[in-house]
Structure 1
Amino acid sequence: MSGVRIVDLCSMMSGPWATDILGDQGADVIKVEVPGKGDHVRQLANQSGGMSAMFVNINRSKRSLTLDLKSDKGIEIFRRLVSTADVVVQNLRPGVVERLGIGYDDLISDNPELIYLSISGFGERGPAAHQRVYDSLVQALSGLTTVQAGSDKARPRLIRTVLPDKLTAIVGAQAITAALYSRKETGQGQHIRLSMLDAILSFLWASDMGAYTFSDKTVPLAEDGSFIDLIFETADGYITVATNSNTEWVSMCQALEHPEWTQDERFSTPAGRTENIDARMAMVQDVLRHRTSAEWIAALDAHDVPAAPILKRSEVIEHPQVIASETITEYRHPVAGGIRQTRVPARFLGTPPAPPRGAPTLGEHNAEILTEIGFGGDDIAAFVANGIIGDEHAPVPA
Structure 2
Amino acid sequence: MTHLPLAGRRVIELGTMIAAPFATHILSQLGAEVIKVEPPTGDTTRALVRGGPSGTFLAYNHGKKSVSIALDTADGLEAFLRLAASADIVIHNLSPAATAKLKITADDLQAVNPALIYCHVRGYAHGPQHDDLATNPVAEASTGVMDDHRIDGRPSRLGPSYHDQFAGTFAVIHIMALLMQPPVDPKERRIEIGLYETGLHVAGRDLAGVQLKMQLLGRPEREAGGEFASPGYGAYKTSDGRWVYLLVLTDAHWRKLTQALTMPEGDDAELASLRQRKKQRDRVEAAVRAAMGQLSYEEAAAKLKAGGVGFTEVLPVERVLDAPQARQPGKLREFDFRGLKFETPEFPGQRDVVPGLPPPELGEHTVEVLRALSFSEADCARLLETGAVAERTDAFAWAPVRPDGAPKG
User: Which TM-score band (shorter chain)?
Assistant: 0.7 to 0.9
Matched, 1:179 2:178: yes
Determine the C-alpha separation between the residues in 2 that align with 1:297 and 1:346. 28
Matched, 1:343 2:346: yes
SS at match of 2:191: strand
After TM superposition, the structure 1 stretch with the greater mean CA deviation from structure 2, 89-98 or 286-295, is: 89-98
Aligned to 1:194: 193
Aligned to 1:104: 106
Aligned to 2:143: 142
* 1:25-69 Cα distance to aligned partner (Å, 9 max, x none): 21111111112x11111111056xx54433122111111111111
Determine the C-alpha separation between the residues in 2 that align with 1:53 and 1:157. 22
Contact 1:24 1:60 in 2 (8 A): no
Contact 1:120 1:196 in 2 (8 A): yes
Determine the C-alpha separation between the residues in 2 that align with 1:252 and 1:199. 37
Determine the C-alpha separation between the residues in 1 that align with 2:301 and 2:202. 31
- CA separation of 1:62 and 1:329: change in aligned 2, threshold 3 A: closer
Contact 2:92 2:121 in 1 (8 A): yes
After TM superposition, the structure 1 stretch with the greater mean CA deviation from structure 2, 99-108 or 318-327, is: 318-327
Equivalent residue for 2:81, pick from 73, 79, 84: 79
Contact 1:24 1:356 in 2 (8 A): no
Superposed displacement of residue 373, structure 1: 1.3
Determine the C-alpha separation between the residues in 2 that align with 1:209 and 1:235. 40
SS at match of 2:312: strand
- CA separation of 1:106 and 1:219: change in aligned 2, threshold 3 A: farther
SS at match of 1:345: coil
SS at match of 2:35: strand
Q: Please, which runs of 5 or more residues in structure 1 have no aligned partner?
A: none
After TM superposition, the structure 1 = structure 2 runs for residues 257-296 of structure 1, keeping only pairs within 5 Å, are 257-265=262-270, 267-296=271-300
Contact 2:346 2:353 in 1 (8 A): no
SS at match of 2:112: coil
Superposed displacement of residue 129, structure 1: 4.1
Equivalent residue for 1:24, pick from 29, 50, 53: 29
Equivalent residue for 1:328, pick from 329, 332, 347: 332
Counterpart of 2:98, as a letter, is V
Equivalent residue for 1:302, pick from 306, 319, 341: 306
Determine the C-alpha separation between the residues in 2 that align with 1:234 and 1:388. 60
After TM superposition, the structure 1 = structure 2 runs for residues 89-168 of structure 1, keeping only pairs within 5 Å, are 89-123=91-125, 125-127=127-129, 129-131=131-133, 133-149=134-150, 155-168=154-167
Aligned to 1:368: 368
Structure 1 length-normalised TM: 0.87
Contact 2:16 2:43 in 1 (8 A): yes
SS at match of 1:161: coil
Contact 2:332 2:353 in 1 (8 A): no
Aligned pair count? 382
After TM superposition, the structure 1 = structure 2 runs for residues 13-52 of structure 1, keeping only pairs within 5 Å, are 13-35=18-40, 37-46=41-50, 50-52=52-54
After TM superposition, the structure 1 stretch with the greater mean CA deviation from structure 2, 364-373 or 115-124, is: 115-124
Determine the C-alpha separation between the residues in 2 that align with 1:91 and 1:32. 12
Aligned to 2:257: 252
SS at match of 1:261: helix
Counterpart of 1:196, as a letter, is L
- CA separation of 1:327 and 1:270: change in aligned 2, threshold 3 A: same
SS at match of 2:322: coil
Aligned to 1:379: 379
- CA separation of 1:134 and 1:19: change in aligned 2, threshold 3 A: same
Q: Please, which runs of 5 or more residues in structure 2 have no aligned partner?
A: 1-5, 395-409
- CA separation of 1:285 and 1:260: change in aligned 2, threshold 3 A: closer
- CA separation of 1:277 and 1:357: change in aligned 2, threshold 3 A: farther
Determine the C-alpha separation between the residues in 2 that align with 1:60 and 1:99. 29
Give the fraction of aligned pairs with identical amino acids, expressed as a percent. 26
Determine the C-alpha separation between the residues in 2 that align with 1:205 and 1:325. 36
Matched, 1:10 2:10: no
Matched, 1:357 2:357: yes
Superposed displacement of residue 149, structure 1: 4.1
Contact 1:212 1:219 in 2 (8 A): no
Determine the C-alpha separation between the residues in 1 that align with 2:114 and 2:279. 58
Aligned to 2:404: none
Determine the C-alpha separation between the residues in 1 that align with 2:212 and 2:339. 49
Determine the C-alpha separation between the residues in 2 that align with 1:220 and 1:42. 44
* 1:76-119 Cα distance to aligned partner (Å, 9 max, x none): 21111111101111111123222322110122122111111111
- CA separation of 1:278 and 1:145: change in aligned 2, threshold 3 A: farther
Determine the C-alpha separation between the residues in 2 that align with 1:156 and 1:276. 29
Structure 2 length-normalised TM: 0.85
Contact 1:61 1:356 in 2 (8 A): yes
SS at match of 1:201: helix
Q: CA RMSD in A?
A: 2.7
SS at match of 2:259: helix
Determine the C-alpha separation between the residues in 2 that align with 1:198 and 1:160. 20
